[in-house]
Amino acid sequence: MATGRTHRPATRSRGIPEATVARLPLYLRALTALSERSVPTVSSEELATAAGVNSAKLRKDFSYLGSYGTRGVGYDVEYLVYQISRELGLTQDWPVVIVGIGNLGAALANYGGFASRGFRVAALIDADPAMAGKPVAGMPVQHTDELEKIINDNGVSIGVIATPAGAAQQVCERLVAAGVTSILNFAPTVLSVPEGVDVRKVDLSIELQILAFHEQRKAGEDAAAEAALPAVARDDAAIEAAADDVAASRKGPDGDVPAVMPA
Amino acid sequence: MATGRTHRPATRSRGIPEATVARLPLYLRALTALSERSVPTVSSEELATAAGVNSAKLRKDFSYLGSYGTRGVGYDVEYLVYQISRELGLTQDWPVVIVGIGNLGAALANYGGFASRGFRVAALIDADPAMAGKPVAGMPVQHTDELEKIINDNGVSIGVIATPAGAAQQVCERLVAAGVTSILNFAPTVLSVPEGVDVRKVDLSIELQILAFHEQRKAGEDAAAEAALPAVARDDAAIEAAADDVAASRKGPDGDVPAVMPA
DNA sequence: TGCTGTGAAACAGTTCACAGCG
DNA sequence: CGCTGTGAACTGTTTCACAGCA
């Protein structure tokens, strides 16, 4: 996912699978909603539906945390909220800095969900001197020169990069050098970081491309179904059967690139 | 990931694994950069480094697309760009609508990478009548009332939801009813969609929580390493050996919750 | 009885390691 | 010789199905 070690190294630490960790926030959100409606207990089935997963997966996930349910009844909402929060480290306060206060950075700064769960925006940082001092989300933007000082003074260990792609790696290095060990990267670049630093990336354009892939496939299937075209390149049966031929014939360093589309 | 079917159903279509699809955009970006620098060929090793993956994985990924490389040489950059673009469906034009033109929606509208690869913002839609007509990213915001008409007139099949959480499900339903079959959801909600509609979600708060989890763990490890505590729960050997005991002892609806950290 | 917790099976994804081609 | 392409081993994840507890 990222350049360095995104997932924990060999160590495997304590045995909560990464896939489970990625779902805990989902459960937490659903539980928080239930908690606000003062629902006392919830079954794996109900909670799973609310979180958009299936109940077996949810139960398995929870089993990694311990046995927090009651057979024949379900889970105590408040108790689970606490346990998951603790597991995720949300019972403590995480100061974060946002670097790059353009459209996106401003959007992030204004994002409410940020503050809600243990995260606190410690500073907004931008390289543009004209931005310095300007208030965004009720907070003055600070200049990049202050970066190291800010990180240190606030004990920041999580940084959010919302700069243009060109600046991201450099900002990343300064963050890491200053002591940041977790980075959320919104810039469309692969960041390279030293061992021990976690990077997660959020990339709009990648998400769209994945959707386009599936969308194209749907269109292909529809066409095949409706028009009953003969041997479209996406046709399953044809591909399966001719896999080797395709592999062989598809070769060629340039010349024989199919006109535009496999027609 | 989403409520409905995020991954394709049983069909499995043609055999490109989902994990591979998710990496194709990464390769494409790296290749595009090489292409701009007029690099003619690239080895799996080089390209893998640029994309932030390992070379075996990259070769395996490409093997699903066909045999596009030359042994002893590497891959032809232009040719691969074309093949991956085609595979992702980026050789065609994808009109998208963005619904919810707040901070985030505006950021997305202004995001350049959007337009670059086959995606075209067909319309910006917002429920606030005061927004209607206001230009954002050189484009007038249109009112939600127009949603169905816009989708239809432009043949939009991909929608981006950047509304507040409360409005997301409703917007989603209108999009789907109007013919949208792929949705990129930025609202912190689980969307439920009918069979056949793909949803991908981007959720800042979830990403931060995952980082916090790892961050917390690091802090725990540091403490363990520095203080050289005896039988830390993080010790691999101990875990492996006592896995069952741990599972058993972890029980208890409240009382014996370990103090603060696995110490 | 109704639910959780969990082994065991099935599946998906990654890594290894090397055969084979240019 | 250097690199791709890929079976085979492995690791991680999901699903199944049911034993066992409240």
Q: Show me where the domains of chain A are located.
A: 18-88, 93-263
Compute the mean pLDDT over every residue in chain A, rounded to the nearest whole number: 84
Nearest to A188 among B29, B108, B262 (CB): B29
| Chain D nucleotides with an atom closer than 7 Å to a protein C-beta | 1-7, 12-17, 20-22
With an 8 Å Cβ cutoff, are B215 and A198 in contact? yes
Predicted local distance difference test score (pLDDT) of residue A242: 32
Predicted local distance difference test score (pLDDT) of residue B225: 60
Using alpha carbons, list the distances in angstroms from residue A197 to A4, A191, B214. 7, 11, 10
Give the CATH number of domain B18-88. 1.10.10.10
Asked if the Cβ of residue A14 lies within 7 A of any atom of strand D, the reply is no
Residue to substitute from B200, B213, B261, interface A, most A β-carbons within 10 A:
B213
Measured CA to CA, the distance from residue B73 to residue B86 in angstroms comes to: 23
Residue B156, number of CB atoms within 10 A of its CB? 23
Report, at the CATH architecture level, how domain B93-263 is classified: 3-Layer(aba) Sandwich (3.40)
pLDDT tens digits for A28-71? 999 999 999 999 999 999 999 999 999 999 999 999 999 999 99
Measured CA to CA, the distance from residue B150 to residue B148 in angstroms comes to: 5
More confident residue, B15 or A232: B15
Residue of chain A whose Cα is closest to the Cα of B256 = A66
Predicted local distance difference test score (pLDDT) of residue A220: 76
Residue of chain B whose Cα is closest to the Cα of A3 = B52
Contact A136, A101 (CB under 8 A): yes
Predicted local distance difference test score (pLDDT) of residue B115: 72
pLDDT tens digits for B51-109? 999 999 999 999 999 999 999 999 999 999 999 999 999 999 999 999 999 999 999 99
Q: Taking the C-alpha atoms of B61, B64, B65 and B66 in order, what is their torsion angle to the nearest 10 degrees?
A: 110
Q: Is A6 exposed, middle or buried (0-12, 13-18, 19+ CB in 10 A)?
A: middle
Residue B52 with chain A: CB contacts under 8 Å: 1-3, 190, 192
With an 8 Å Cβ cutoff, are A192 and B76 in contact? no
